[in-house]
Amino acid sequence: MKTFNLLLSSINNVKDFVNVVSKYDFDVDLTSGRYVVDAKSIMGIFSLDLSQPIKVEVHSDDCEKFIEELKPFIVD
């Protein structure tokens, strides 16, 4: 499992993020505060506080290509 933070600051960023995540068959969770949602659910993402970085949990050890596609959204 890999964990990192990302920032989705616009509606287009959320749409692009969901398009990337949906291409992969492993599970990805987003955590904001006490809420955890499926990263493939655009409605779930919009229920989170998008003004703050969101914690991403990738439930796969073979996800280097996935993380590379998400580089524009990743924050430290």
13-39 pLDDT, tens digit per residue, is: 999 999 999 999 999 999 999 999 999
What is the structure's pLDDT at 76?
78
Task: Give me the percent of the chain exceeding a pLDDT of 90.
Answer: 99
Pairs from 10-14 (Cβ < 8 Å, separation ≥ 24): 13/73, 14/42, 14/45, 14/46, 14/50
For residue 4, the cross-strand partners are 56
What's the token pair of residue 72? 């524009």
Q: pTM to 2 decimals?
A: 0.91
User: What's the pLDDT score for residue 11?
Assistant: 95
The model's confidence at residue 64, banded by pLDDT at 50, 70 and 90, is very high
